[in-house]
Structure 1
Amino acid sequence: MLYGIAAAATALLLTALLAALLRVPARWLRLLDRRRQREVPLSGGPAVVLVTGAVVGAGDWIGVAPPLDDGVRELLVAGGVVAVLGLVDDVWRLRRRVLAAGTAVAAACVVPYGETGVASGLLAVGWVVCVTFCFRGLDHADGVAGGVGVMTAFGAGACAAIEVMDGIAVLMSVLAAALTGFLMHNWPPARAALGACGSMSAGFVLAAGAVYARAGQGLGESAGVLFALTAVLAADAVLVLVSRRLDGRAVLRSGPDHLAHRLRRLGLTVPGATLLLAVGAFSGVLVGVLAHAGWIGADALWWVAGGALAVVLALSRVRVYGPRSPRRSVSPQVSAPLRVRNG
């Protein structure tokens, strides 16, 4: 208990300090998030990744933490590989298929097939990849990825603690604390962002940790619990993909059509939209943890799915796309635009 508190406090303070120190080097290297109205340094991602790995590894090395089994070590290594892949994407912009393939390989190396079976394990690999990219999509607005990530990490850690998986529980609590330290710089107006390095690594570790906590239990109920833990991520992804598809826009092209954007269109402030999404994530996580513990029936998970669907349907009616400008036909005789001089 005392170690958990000390590790979380250390992770929070170190992440807050490191994210601040890395802001200047990030600006020098032009590691900036340009999706917002201003350029934000991508210093939060490396800070979260480095501190999480350092705190968990140091506790195991010193011997003050519960011993980490091989699965937790593999998860840390795989999360580090995904973080490096994301950092390369932050610098050179990799193709999505390359990111997806690398994440899938990393997930395939950590899924506990002995408990899940091969078929369910392959489904878990696909789910981990989807959550990784959904979490990456949340890093488009101030505070959203940090707030939702903290709630999800606490939920996955609680599920692991119920199953007496001390290593996974420690990892999730340290990650939650690191994301809280990052949130101190990412709360509106953001002074740091996760980037692909931090968002993909955090999403990967959260998803894989939740899979470990549910491994060996019923497939249907496990799917419900995992969905409840990540309900906001799923709602955001479904809303974006469906709305872009119906409007005839490129599915992978970014745009102002996420949950936070639509809430802002309804008149909420940036902190208000961030806080509302964090509350929504907490609500889904609470139901998921209670269902995992057996304190409420699995039928309650359908309420989470229904609530997410209602949110998607309601916010899909909020107009976020401007009218398309018609293409102008150019006469073949006109080879250059007409220039007009003043005076």
Structure 2
Amino acid sequence: MNGVIALAAMSIAFALSAIATAVLRRLALRWRLFDKPGGHKSHQRPTPYLGGVGIALGTLVPPLALAGPACLPLAGILVGAAAMTLLGLIDDLIPLPPPTRLAVQALAAGVVVVSGVVAPLTGSWLDLPITVLWIVVVTNSFNLLDNMDGALGGITTASAALLAAESFVYGWPALGLVLAALSAASLGFLLHNWAPARIFMGDAGSLFIGFVLASSTALLVTGTGAVTTVAGLLLPTFVATVDTGVVLLSRRRAGRPLLQGGSDHLSHRLDRLGLGKRLTALMLAALAAAAGALHLAMTLGWIPPTAAATVAAAAAIAAIVLPQRVRVYPSIRSKTSILVRR
């Protein structure tokens, strides 16, 4: 694909996302659509959301306008991604029960699989439900990753840019154009979301981002070997996958409900170490960039798939286990001492 078209798409995506987010912020303020602080949420004042709609517009409009109709697998991804934006927007306005969210997500992931996107982990029919499950789990992992100013926007900017490069290498220029637009649109959104954030993306943005990245990784590994598939799925979604692992392990050890919200994510632990929101967001984006660069090196043939998969798995385990040393829950001894003093 012509580099001029890709550059034009990214420029339009950046401008469209930045302008649309500013307009959506005004609308959210007028309609009093706020994400209020309290509970496990880290922000201190009511903050408008709807910014995710601007990211979706910036991602979808330029490629469709400049490149025209997409092939069937990519069309399935775009249809599912649009459905995720709508689902997230509804959930932002009227919170939906988890079963409803999961059912819609599974249906959208099914559309992607039916369109020809299958991650070949087993080489059997089991790859179909595994791919659906992968897309749903990673979509929600990115949704949970949206828990601090600038974090998910920075991660997406880095991850989508490198995944776009890999798409061009793999021979999927149309997908590369969409991912390049997603990276630029996320950067445009960051103008308004960098700490202290003036607007949040909400579920409309985080579900959209997660679905696009999860489905794109599955498309890029379609037809490859099992080892390449493992590395190709894990590396581009490394931060989201690790963050989910950190939370699940932490809550299991603390005896807390796995699906309950909490300030125990990777970003919260880095912030607790004294990094602050801005440096935390930069570190998470750098981690995503490093994982994406390793995947790109594998795609270019500089690193064998086995080595990339091994490094990815080892790094993921270390990144899940080591943050457990940062205390986010009061210990049983601390709780007992408080009760005794009372």
Q: Same fold (TM over 0.5)?
A: yes
Using the TM superposition, give the Cα deviation of residue 21 of structure 1 relative to its aligned residue in structure 2, in angstroms: 1.2
Using the TM superposition, give the Cα deviation of residue 114 of structure 1 relative to its aligned residue in structure 2, in angstroms: 7.3
Query: Aligned equivalents of 2:289 and 2:310: distance in 1?
Result: 16
1:93 aligns with 2:95: yes
Using the TM superposition, give the Cα deviation of residue 119 of structure 1 relative to its aligned residue in structure 2, in angstroms: 2.4
Per-residue deviation, residues 3-48 of structure 1 (Å, max 9, x unmatched): 1101101110111111011112112333323332222211310111
**Aligned with 2:282: secondary structure?**
helix
1:109 to 111, 127, 139: 111
| Corresponding residue for residue 198 of structure 1 | 205
CA contact (8 A) 2:117 2:218 kept: no
1:134 aligns with 2:136: no
1:300 aligns with 2:308: yes
Using the TM superposition, give the Cα deviation of residue 269 of structure 1 relative to its aligned residue in structure 2, in angstroms: 1.8
CA contact (8 A) 1:45 1:198 kept: yes
**Aligned with 2:298: secondary structure?**
helix
CA contact (8 A) 2:73 2:116 kept: no
1:270 aligns with 2:277: yes
| Corresponding residue for residue 60 of structure 2 | 53
CA contact (8 A) 1:159 1:210 kept: no
| Corresponding residue for residue 340 of structure 2 | none
CA contact (8 A) 1:120 1:219 kept: no
Question: Per the alignment, do residues 248 and 30 of structure 1 end up closer, same or farther by CA in structure 2, a change over 3 Å counting?
Answer: farther
| Corresponding residue for residue 224 of structure 1 | 231
Query: Aligned equivalents of 1:270 and 1:71: distance in 2?
Result: 37
**Aligned with 2:105: secondary structure?**
helix
Runs of 4+ in structure 1 over 6 Å off: none
Using the TM superposition, give the Cα deviation of residue 323 of structure 1 relative to its aligned residue in structure 2, in angstroms: 5.5
- TM-score by length of structure 2 reads 0.89
2:179 to 168, 172, 179: 172
Query: Aligned equivalents of 1:290 and 1:123: distance in 2?
Result: 26
1:152 to 159, 162, 171: 159
CA contact (8 A) 1:288 1:301 kept: no
CA contact (8 A) 2:16 2:57 kept: no
Query: Aligned equivalents of 1:140 and 1:45: distance in 2?
Result: 14
| Corresponding residue for residue 323 of structure 2 | 315
CA contact (8 A) 2:227 2:309 kept: no
CA contact (8 A) 2:18 2:188 kept: yes
CA contact (8 A) 2:217 2:232 kept: no
CA contact (8 A) 2:109 2:132 kept: yes
CA contact (8 A) 2:231 2:308 kept: no
| Corresponding residue for residue 333 of structure 1 | none
| Corresponding residue for residue 256 of structure 2 | 249
1:69 to 53, 68, 71: 71
CA contact (8 A) 1:68 1:167 kept: yes
Using the TM superposition, give the Cα deviation of residue 261 of structure 1 relative to its aligned residue in structure 2, in angstroms: 0.6
| Corresponding residue for residue 16 of structure 1 | 18
CA contact (8 A) 1:45 1:194 kept: yes
Using the TM superposition, give the Cα deviation of residue 301 of structure 1 relative to its aligned residue in structure 2, in angstroms: 2.7
**Aligned with 1:316: secondary structure?**
helix
- TM-score by length of structure 1 reads 0.89
Equivalent pairs: percent with the same residue? 34
Query: Aligned equivalents of 1:288 and 1:262: distance in 2?
Result: 26
Per-residue deviation, residues 62-111 of structure 1 (Å, max 9, x unmatched): xxxxx522322222121111111111111111112211111111011112
**Aligned with 1:110: secondary structure?**
helix
Specify the code of the residue in structure 2 equivalent to 1:44: G
Question: Per the alignment, do residues 125 and 99 of structure 1 end up closer, same or farther by CA in structure 2, a change over 3 Å counting?
Answer: same
- Segments of 5+ residues of structure 1 without an aligned counterpart are 62-66, 327-343
Query: Aligned equivalents of 1:28 and 1:255: distance in 2?
Result: 30
**Higher mean Cα deviation, 28-37 or 223-232?**
28-37
Query: Aligned equivalents of 2:117 and 2:186: distance in 1?
Result: 31
RMSD between superposed Cα atoms in Å: 1.8
